[in-house]
Amino acid sequence: MPEGDAVYRTAAKLRGALDGQVLTRSDFRVPRHATADLTGRTVLTTVSRGKHLLTRVEGDLTVHTHLRMDGSWQVMAAGRRTAPGDQVRLILANERWQAVGVRLGMVDLVRTGEEERLVGHLGPDLLGPDWDPDEAVRRLRGAPDRTIGEALLDQRNLAGIGTIYRAETLFLRGIWPWKKVGEIEDLNGLVSLAQRLLDANKGHAGTVTTGDRRPANQTWVYGRAGKPCRRCGTRISRGEMGAQPQERLILWCAGCQLG
Ligand SMILES: [Zn+2]
């Protein structure tokens, strides 16, 4: 599932292809907006907010998309055929490029002035210009009995963390994922570390939290269930957190994450 750093890169890719260009075609393949047509309008820009993408178009319109589990935006030469079998949800094209949204989990078209209705509930964006660790901590503290593992994934607390950064951040801080938020002393250190990890990875594909970019060495616990911990040798545990049906994968080291 794409996390904040991947969404950030996607926004940059869309800016490169669409910003300042007049749309020569738009194709919404979702029932709700099947008749929408943005042809002739100039794309102003695309910004990311946590895992949400906002593509602003001339005339007070914003195309709101979310990659959810396995969606993506692909940029290719205008007129090129998309791969057969791709579940295309939206195409935005200009004379030179087309941006093709595949398996997008959300496609919406709203007034730009109403964007807050879509993303106003989000906590501070770890990769946004307005990142505010104190505000993220304040929001986390609002539910002290919640497990830190669940609280970190709740985008209303802070926006951009998914299962990879959750697992890696908690490992690096030595925190058991089921520890209650109210029992964690240095929440600021925790969210600041998460921010640094996302920031360090926003410029390239993949997630490297160990500082070692070789494929087998990139993470401490994520993707390493059953393998020995790089620090203490204990086999990495794998489980699920959260209430059904929203439980999500968690990996941790029972030797290192005692705190
Ligand atoms: Zn360990």
* Integer Cα distance of 131 and 133 in angstroms: 6
What pLDDT does 24 receive? Answer: 98
Q: Residue 180 pairs with which residues in a beta bridge?
A: 147
What pLDDT does 10 receive? Answer: 97
Q: Residue 56 pairs with which residues in a beta bridge?
A: 45, 62
* Integer Cα distance of 83 and 71 in angstroms: 15
Ligand 1 centre and the CA of 189: distance in Å?
20
Active site residue ranges: 2-3, 51, 248
* Integer Cα distance of 26 and 24 in angstroms: 7
Ligand 1 centre and the CA of 209: distance in Å?
15
Ligand 1 centre and the CA of 255: distance in Å?
5
Q: Residue 47 pairs with which residues in a beta bridge?
A: 54
* Integer Cα distance of 210 and 230 in angstroms: 10
Which residues make Cβ contacts (< 8 Å) with residue 217, sequence separation at least 6? 210
109's tokens: 């078209």
Ligand 1 centre and the CA of 240: distance in Å?
19
The per-residue DSSP string of 128-143 comes to STT--HHHHHHHHHTS
Q: Which residue from 86, 77, 125 is spatially nearest to 104, judged by alpha carbons?
A: 86
Question: Which residue ranges of the chain lie beneath pLDDT 70?
Answer: none
H helix or E strand, kind and range, residue 167: helix 163-173
What pLDDT does 243 receive? Answer: 81
Ligand 1 centre and the CA of 129: distance in Å?
35
**pLDDT per residue as tens digits for the range 131-158:** 999 999 999 999 999 999 999 999 999 9
What's the whole-model pTM score?
0.93
Ligand 1 centre and the CA of 228: distance in Å?
8
* Integer Cα distance of 134 and 137 in angstroms: 5
The residue type of 159 is A
What pLDDT does 175 receive? Answer: 98
Q: Which residue from 181, 198, 177, 178 is spatially nearest to 138, judged by alpha carbons?
A: 181
Ligand 1 centre and the CA of 33: distance in Å?
50
Ligand 1 centre and the CA of 213: distance in Å?
20
Ligand 1 centre and the CA of 16: distance in Å?
42
Ligand 1 centre and the CA of 233: distance in Å?
6
